[in-house]
Amino acid sequence: MPEVSKSSHSSEVEVSISEVMDGIYRIAGFVETYGITFNQFLIQDENPILIHTGPIGMYRRIEEKVREVINLEKLAYVAFLHFESDEWGGMEFLKSPRVKLVCSDLSSKLNLTGWYNVPTDHISFWDNEVLKTGKRTFRFIMTPHVHHWDSMMIFEETTKSLFTSDLFIQPGDNKPILSEDLSDQMIQLYKAVGIFGSEEPVRQTTKRLVKLEPKITFPMHGSCIDATMFSSYTDAIMNNEFAYSGNILGQKVPIIT
């Protein structure tokens, strides 16, 4: 995989929007350099929320798609699930007059303190805390080291929708909802990219997610996964090796002994 920053190749990416279920929209752009889609999720409610903003280069096109559904001025929350450019590179959303930045308590303490030009006015959540946006209730799940130490996930309890960030990635430019089992390809991608330092925290989190019995899962990269296919992906995580073993972003990192 070439050494290219996410922002340098994403400004010309075509972005589409699809309503996956009632009032929940997947905004997606396929980035050929990485061979994956970059997804954002807009959820309508009395106080609309956007989960992920995409990298800075894709921001304007993502904003256009948000405006197809709501006035940007109505956007109440922007959530990022760990501190990384594809999670919240589109910082311009924060110019919306009433929008509030939402993150994990660990992101707040570890990453939003001491950085130049990073907003200190935000809302942070710890495990099992909730945010009500009107008819919907978002429960926050702390998932450290899946894939970053400040990582979290979100479970929308009303629709049983699960937002998992980098867990359950599938490669390719796929449909809004999965039509085939790509769990083997997911495992191969994890091995090549090396984003998980260990299988253990990922498997502990996966066991917890299974108990939630989500009706649909919204990964940040790839298609959404309905309940009929969810077990294929959780089983793949539980039964395969996929942790970092010397490859990072497709390149071999020499191990000094």
> What is the per-residue pLDDT for 9?
54
In three state form, how does the secondary structure of 184-227 look? Answer: HHHHHHHHHHCCCCCHHHHHHHHHHHHHHCCCEEEECCCCEEEH
Mean pLDDT across the chain:
91
pLDDT of 46:
98
131 near 125, Cβ under 8 Å? yes
Q: Is the pLDDT of residue 7 over 70?
A: no
- Fill in the DSSP letter of residue 58: G
Under the banding of pLDDT at 50, 70 and 90, the label for residue 4 is: very low
Cis status, amide bond into 147, omega within 30 of 0: yes
Which has the higher per-residue pLDDT, 202 or 58? 202
Q: Which pTM was predicted?
A: 0.93
Per-residue pLDDT, 130: 98
Q: How confident is the model at residue 6 (pLDDT cuts 50, 70, 90)?
A: very low
**Two tokens, residue 139:** 């429960």
At 1, the pLDDT band (50, 70, 90 cuts) reads: very low
Q: What is the DSSP letter of 240?
A: S
Q: Measure CA of the first residue to CA of the last residue in the chain; give whole Å.
A: 26
124-178: pLDDT as tens digits = 999 999 999 999 999 999 999 999 999 999 999 999 999 999 999 999 999 999 9
User: pLDDT tens across 185-194, in order?
Assistant: 999 999 999 9
pLDDT at res. 44: 98
Q: For residues 12-39, give the mean pLDDT.
A: 94
Across the range 37-51, mean pLDDT stands at 97
Residue the block writes with tokens 């709501």: 70
User: Which CATH number does 6-252 carry?
Assistant: 3.60.15.10
154 Cβ contact list (under 8 Å, min separation 6): 51, 79, 81, 138, 139, 140, 141, 162, 163
The predicted structure's pLDDT at residue 8: 45
**Higher model confidence: residue 217 or residue 56?**
217
Domain boundaries, the chain: 6-252
Lowest mean pLDDT among 6-10, 49-53, 234-238: 6-10
In the predicted model, is pLDDT for residue 200 greater than 80?
Answer: yes
* pLDDT computed for residue 13 by the predictor: 87
Which segment, 48-57, 151-160, 241-250, is predicted with the most confidence on average? 151-160
Most confident of the ranges 12-16, 85-89, 143-147: 143-147
Query: Is residue 67 scored above 80 in pLDDT?
Result: yes
Give whole-number Cα distances, 257 to 134, 196, 216, 251, 254, in Å. 56, 22, 45, 19, 9
